[in-house]
Amino acid sequence: MRETERFTPMEVFRRSIDAVSALDEDDVLRAFVAGLGSTPRGRQPLISFAWARYLSGAPIQKDDLPDCGLDTIPPAIDVTEVLLRLALGWAWNERPYLYLADLETAVAEGLPTPTAEDRERLSALFAVIEAQPGGMSAGGLEKAVARAKILPGTDKFQRYGILIGLAEFGVLPSENAASWDRFVSRQEVAAAWAGGPRSDVPPPLSGWHGGVESARADRLLAL
Q: Give me the numbers of helices (H) and strands (E) for the chain, helices first please.
A: 10, 4
Confidence of residue 193 (pLDDT cuts 50, 70, 90): confident
Q: What is the pLDDT of residue 130?
A: 97
Q: What is the pLDDT of residue 199?
A: 61
Residue 22 in this model has a pLDDT that exceeds 90: yes
Question: pLDDT exceeding 90 applies to what percent of the chain?
Answer: 84
Query: pTM, whole model, 2 decimals?
Result: 0.95
pLDDT tens digit sequence for 52-67: 999 999 999 988 999 9
Residue 200 in this model has a pLDDT that exceeds 80: no
Name the strand (E) or helix (H) holding 65: strand 65-66
* Helices marked H in the chain: 9-21, 25-34, 44-52, 79-87, 99-109, 116-130, 138-148, 156-169, 186-194, 214-222
**Residues 30, 32, 38, 39, CA torsion sign:** positive
Q: What is the pLDDT of residue 6?
A: 86
